A and B are shown apart, each in its own frame.
Chain A
């Protein structure tokens, strides 16, 4: 039986993620944990998260999870969700500037105050709701998901990077931002697949089927 660990570092509600994973693979052993042994034993690692990035980095360091993650990250299929994506970047503007894990090159920035679209219409922050995702490269995790499918987002900070080959998908909210990033065995998304109905469940299913090879 494959072991899937959902990393618990005290940031946000992990039950929805675990429930969605159980739904797509009732046979998998889904474990919400912060135990190093579990993370090392896992076949797949899911790294969710909600809330503020400064508190998230502190929580990871406090439990030495940052070191364990860095060590395990290269070894097995890894999925970051929402704050899980942002924490993987070099740095964030949030909380007066926060250093990330630096696994992916890129920055985390806040949507501007008085944000507008190209027609000058007002855009609310947080970016909350269902927006369209443009797949910018083929990837096993996009299997069976139509180009332009809508996913559920809720965030006030967004990821940007110059390294095109590590962008798996983009989304537009007044400006284009990274909705999905990838490198080797890592995949990370800004949206919430566990709350994105059929398209989200398909992505989670694809992740559990994934051997960690990029293509």
Chain B
């Protein structure tokens, strides 16, 4: 027995409410973040991730209040991402009660931010989010590139090399999302997941594409991920986190039950 593989439900938060849409279309209200977080905690979630998708900068502070409220009653690690631009943003999240902060686009445009942040607040607080898309033609060896702006803009940066560079800059963990799979519910991009997991020493969270419990298990057994993240399958109570863990345990995966 040893370290458990983690299951991390992710909540998209906009203007202080949990929302769920398919690829940012048809966004539906999925409740109060504090209530949803409390439910996931009761079901045995190992961590909770909040992704702030608030569009207007006027409402940026709502996520701070959400984190404060959740951190006062949910005692498992909390990660917050979305809209992080500078070390000061990271400090504010940590002071509100977040344990880790996800840096995405800002890391691409200003990689030194990752270095500066990990020096100042410690690597364990810094999660670098990588949005990757397959760019190789059929028949070619697989190659993935970093994309920004919700998968719309390519950067020409190789995803594997980028993961390695972020590790060297002091990232404590990588949140890897396949933009090809995000919202599709057909499962993780297991080749991408495995390639990144094997390229770095730090833990990797697989994300993007989960539609059933077998997908979660595959992320660990075939993708070699240290943790798996999912949003929609938990949101409308299709499956509970507890069911997901039991399913993984039945397949011989070590989880916290």
Contacts and interface: CB of A to CB of B under 8 A. Distances in A.
Nearest to A115: B201
Given A129-B3, A130-B6, A195-B99, A15 B71 contact: yes
A131 interface: yes
A148 B254 CA distance: 14
Contacts of A125: 201-202
B236 interface: no
A129 B201 contact: no
A117 interface: yes
B202 A19 contact: no
B83 to A, nearest CB: 19
B97 A15 contact: yes
Given A15-B97, A19-B72, A201-B75, A128 B201 contact: no
Contacts of A132: 1-2
A210 interface: no
Interface in A1-53: 12-13, 15-16, 19-20, 23, 50-52
A67 interface: no
A129 B203 contact: yes
Interface string B91-131: 00011111100000000000000000000011111000000
A131 B203 CA distance: 15
Given A52-B122, A130-B46, A197-B41, A19 B97 contact: yes
A150 B4 CA distance: 9
B124 A128 contact: yes
Interface in A121-151: 123-132, 148, 150
Contacts of B98: 13
Nearest to A24: B75
Interface in A71-127: 113-114, 117, 123-127
B226 to A, nearest CB: 6
A152 interface: yes
B37 interface: no
B246 to A, nearest CB: 16
A188 B27 CA distance: 47
A186 to B, nearest CB: 23
Contacts of A200: 75
B76 interface: yes
B183 interface: no
B75 A196 contact: yes
B201 A50 contact: no
A131 to B, nearest CB: 5
B226 A16 contact: no
B2 A173 contact: yes
B74 to A, nearest CB: 9
A126 B99 contact: no
Contacts of B4: 129-131, 150
A208 B75 CA distance: 17
A213 interface: no
Contact of A195 (B76, B172, B173, B227): B76
B173 A12 contact: no
A105 B2 CA distance: 26
Contacts of B85: none
Nearest to A200: B75
A86 to B, nearest CB: 13
Interface string B56-88: 000000000000000111011100000000000
Nearest to B100: A154
Contacts of A131: 2-4
Given A124-B203, A195-B75, A200-B75, A16 B97 contact: yes
B72 A23 contact: yes
Given A51-B122, A130-B4, A195-B75, 7 more contacts: A15-B97, A19-B71, A19-B72, A50-B125, A129-B226, A152-B77, A197-B41
7 contacts: A13-B125, A16-B99, A23-B75, A127-B3, A128-B226, A130-B6, A153-B3
Interface of A: 12-13, 15-16, 19-20, 23, 50-52, 113-114, 117, 123-132, 148, 150, 152-156, 172-173, 194-197, 200-201
Q: What 3 pairs across the A-B complex have the smallest Cβ distances?
A: A51-B122, A130-B256, A130-B4
Interface of B: 1-6, 41, 46, 71-73, 75-77, 94-99, 121-125, 172-173, 201-204, 226-227, 256
